Amino acid sequence: MSDLKDSLLSQKEAFDAALSKVTDSAAAEQLRVAFLGKKGSLTQVLRGMGQLSAEERPLVGKVANEVRSHMEEILSARISEIKELEKSHKLKREVIDVTIPSSYEGAGARHPLNMAINEICDIFLGLGYSIGEGPEVEYDKYNFELLRIPEGHPSRDTQDTFYITDNILLRTQTSGLQIRTMEKQKPPLKVICPGKVYRSDALDSTHSPVFHQIEGLVVDKGVTMGDLVGSLQLFAKKLFGENTKIRLRPHHFPFTEPSVEVDLTCWSCGGKGCRVCKGEGWIEVLGAGMVHPEVLENCGIDSEVYSGFAFGIGVERTAMGRYGIDDIRLLYENDVRFLKQFK
């Protein structure tokens, strides 16, 4: 019996000595297998217990259990220590020095469409407008219904789009932002809302199924058509120069009354007539009008007290004029040779 006890205690010493040399998880596992595994040396010693008498067995058993729990405890403590160490080494190794100079030298340029949007918004910010926005995936009621374009209205035909469900679609115009703005804010209000819009149009040098508009909306007491004309005149001069004139042509939009289409004097020839304006001297850039009283009422605004104007600027056309781009497709192909020119 004392033989067994002795060998248990010498196992313990051997284990402690071996453990003090263990410095990584793999060595710890090896040690566990060597002592505590199925063929481990402690296990072998314990096999010898079968030969002990019934009185001796519990006494040796007690020592054996103590030795085994001792081994298991200090081993698992050592393993946690090692894990911590390994983790902190790994973190040290994977540190990124953000101060090392990069090898990338080619800084990009702002996209001409964003340049145009920024330029236009800046002009209106200077006039006291604030900037608004809304979702490209829009409810039918904002894109059409509350703008007086009910189901079956002919103007839906010219603005066919991608329907996600019967009443959710990719917006065809930013005019829905008029409604969204007026639902949230009460007059006086002056907002400008740039955004991407979608229409089922074929791509050619002047059309794209995805394009950008900037919606403007002003609502207050006593707003008139004169205010609209004055604001647009100012916008045109700021963007294309002092000599730029605007021309209003009567038009129809369901959500404005009266409605107009607005042309600017050609940015290429100044109005004499050239290839860019197809000999007209004028280029159509936006639609506008006085907000229809029913649209105001749809948003809970008293049309007896308040009036307003709205306009929608075509960004692509404006950018093309402003930067001398002759094909709308260049704006979406993102050929770096084209984009680099705007640095």
**Nearer CB in complex with ligand PHE: 112/289:** 289
Do 329 and 239 contact (CB within 8 A), yes or no?
no
**Nearer CB in complex with ligand PHE: 79/234:** 234
**Nearer CB in complex with ligand PHE: 187/287:** 287
How is residue 31 written in tokens? 């040690």
Compute the distance between CA of residue 39 and CA of residue 181 in angstroms, rounded to an integer.
78
**Nearer CB in complex with ligand PHE: 19/120:** 120
Instruction: Restricting to residues 171-210, name those near ligand PHE by CB under 6 A.
Output: 173, 175
**Nearer CB in complex with ligand PHE: 182/288:** 288
**What does the per-residue mask of binding to ligand PHE show for 262-291, with x meaning CB under 6 A?**
-------------------------xxx--
Q: Which of 22, 123, 236, 310 binds ligand PHE (CB under 6 A)?
A: 310
Which residues make beta-bridge pairs with 213?
195, 314
**Nearer CB in complex with ligand PHE: 139/253:** 253
The nearest distance, CB 96 to ligand PHE, in angstroms, is: 48
Q: Which of 254, 308, 312, 321 binds ligand PHE (CB under 6 A)?
A: 312
Q: Which of 139, 142, 253, 282 binds ligand PHE (CB under 6 A)?
A: 253
Do 8 and 64 contact (CB within 8 A), yes or no?
yes
How is residue 143 written in tokens? 């894109």
Instruction: Restricting to residues 99-158, name those near ligand PHE by CB under 6 A.
Output: none
The nearest distance, CB 236 to ligand PHE, in angstroms, is: 16
C-alpha separations of 316 from 2, 21, 79, 99, 311 in Å? 97, 73, 65, 40, 16
| Nearest position to ligand PHE, beta carbon | 312
Within a 13 Å sphere around the CA of 259, how many CA atoms are in the beta-carbon half? Answer: 13
Number of residues engaging ligand PHE in binding (CB under 6 A): 10
Q: Which of 143, 256, 265, 307 binds ligand PHE (CB under 6 A)?
A: 256
Tell me the H-state helices in the chain: 2-19, 25-36, 41-47, 56-93, 112-126, 140-143, 176-184, 225-240, 293-298, 315-323, 330-333, 336-339
How is residue 82 written in tokens? 């090692």
Please compute Rg for the chain using Cα positions. 39
How is residue 141 written in tokens? 């009621």
Q: Which of 311, 315, 316, 319 binds ligand PHE (CB under 6 A)?
A: 311
* Site residues for ligand PHE per CB under 6 A: 173, 175, 253, 256, 287-289, 310-312
